[in-house]
Amino acid sequence: MTTQAPVALEVRGLSKHFGGVRAVENCSFTAPEGKVTGLIGPNGAGKSTAIDLISGFKLPDAGTVVFGGEAIEGLPPHRISRLGLIRTFQTPREWPLLTVLENVVLARWDQARETFWRGVLGLQQAQHEATTGELAEGREILEEFGLMALRNERAGNLSGGQKRLVEFARIRMAKPQLVILDEPMGGVNPVLGERMALAIEGFIATGTSVIVVEHNLPFIERVTDHVVVMSQGSVIASGPFASLRSNRAVIDAYLGEMPTYEQPSA
C-alpha cells in the first residue's frame, strides 16, 4: 500500500441544481498539495459552478469540500479566503480606481489593521512597520512581474493581459495555501502564456498549490502535473494530461479528438 500524498483540496459528492438543470452532479476529485492540477472539460461541464461552490460563491445542495483538514462547504467566501483558499475569476477583477500597487498590497487581509479603530488611529509602531514592510514586498513582487513601472497607474487603465498579471501579483502577495485560477488565459494574448506558466511555477515554489480551470489545452499540458476532466457535472477521468488524450470517455466528452499541443510559430 502506498502512502497517500498530501492533499490540498478534496471534493466529495458535490452537487448543485438550478431548477431542473444539474450543473454539478456528484462531483468528486482531489488536488494534490504542491502540484498544479488542471480542471478541464467541454463547455457546460460545470467547471465554473464547481469552482463557485468550492470557493463559497454559491451554496451547494449536497457534498463536502475538505480544505486544510476542515469542511468548508457552505462557508461564506471571505471565510474560505481567510482559511487560505483564494480564487480568481473568468474576467480580471482588479479594483479599477485603486493603483496597481494598492491592488497588490490589499491582497493580504490583515485583521489587525483593518478593524475600524485600530485601522483608523493607526498609532502603533508595529502597524507602521507592517505597512512599510508590506509596501516593500509589494514592490518586489511587481518588479518580478514586470509591472513596477505601472505601480501608480489606476488598475482599471491597464490592458487585459496586464490586469491578469496584477491578479497573479495579488496571489503572490497573499500567499494562500491554494489558489484556483478560473480561465486565466481567457481574453489574453497567447504570447503571455509562457509568462503565466512561469508565474504558476512561482506559486508552487512559494508554497501555493494550484488548481487551474482552462479551455486552452496546450496551456494545461504545459503547466499541470495532474488533470481532472469534468463533463455534464461530474468527473469522468483524472490523471496526467498525456494519459487522457487516449481516454475514451474524455474523447467522447469532447466529441472527437482532443486538440493537440502545437508549437507556437516563431
Partner 1 sequence: MTQYLVSVLTEGAIFGIMALGLNVIWGWSGDFDLAYYGYVALGAYMTLVLTIGRQPPPTKYILGLTLPYPLAVGLAVASAMALALVIGLIALRHLRGIYFSIVTLGAVYVLYTMAGQFVPLFNGYQGLSGLVNPMADVLGIDFNSYQYFLLGLAIAVFLLVYLFLSRVSSSRFGLALRSLREDERAAAAFGRDIYRLKLKAYVLGAAIGGLGGALFATYVTAFNTSAWAPLETIVLYAAVLVGGRGNIRGVVLGVFIVIVLIEESTRFLPEIPGHPNIVLALRPIVIGLALILFLRFRPQGLLPERRYMDPAQSKAKQEVVT
Partner 2 sequence: MHQALLILGFGLVTAAILSLSAVAFTLEYAVTNVANLAHGEILTIGAYAALVVHDRTGSAVAAAVAAALAGGVIALAMHAAVVDRFIRRGTPTLVIFIATLGLSFVIQNVLVIIFGAANVAYTISPGAPFQLGPFLWTPVDIEIIVSALAITAVLFTIISYTKFGKALRAVSQNRELARVSGINANVVASATWFLAGLVAGYAGFILAESIGTFTPSFGFSFFLITLTAAVAGGLGRAFSTMVGAIIVGIALEFFGGYVSPGYNLAFAFGILALVILIRPRGLFVNARRSIFE
Cell numbers describing residue 155: 488598475
- Please give the residues from 42 up to 71 whose contact with partner 1 meets the rule CB under 8 A: 55-57
Could you give the CA distance from residue 225 to residue 136 in angstroms, rounded to a whole number? 33
58 contacts partner 2 (rule: CB under 8 A): yes
76 contacts partner 2 (rule: CB under 8 A): yes
The binder of partner 2 chosen from 38, 41, 46, 56 (CB under 8 A): 56
Binding marks (x or -) toward partner 1, 134..153, rule CB under 8 A?
-x---x---x-xxxxxxxx-
Backbone angles phi, psi at 52, to 5 degrees: -60, -40
CA angle centred on 264, ends 45 and 206, rounded to 5°: 65
**The entry of partner 1, partner 2, none that residue 222 binds, CB within 5 to 8 Å by partner kind:** none
- Please give the residues from 171 up to 210 whose contact with partner 1 meets the rule CB under 8 A: 174, 192, 195
Q: Which residue(s) pair with 210 in the sheet? A: 36, 179
249 contacts partner 2 (rule: CB under 8 A): no
Cell numbers describing residue 102: 494598492
Closer CB to partner 2, 57 or 261, in the complex: 57
**The entry of partner 2, partner 1, none that residue 59 binds, CB within 5 to 8 Å by partner kind:** partner 2
Closer CB to partner 2, 52 or 134, in the complex: 52
Strands (E), 173-248: 178-182, 209-213, 226-231, 234-239
- End-to-end CA separation in angstroms for the chain: 47
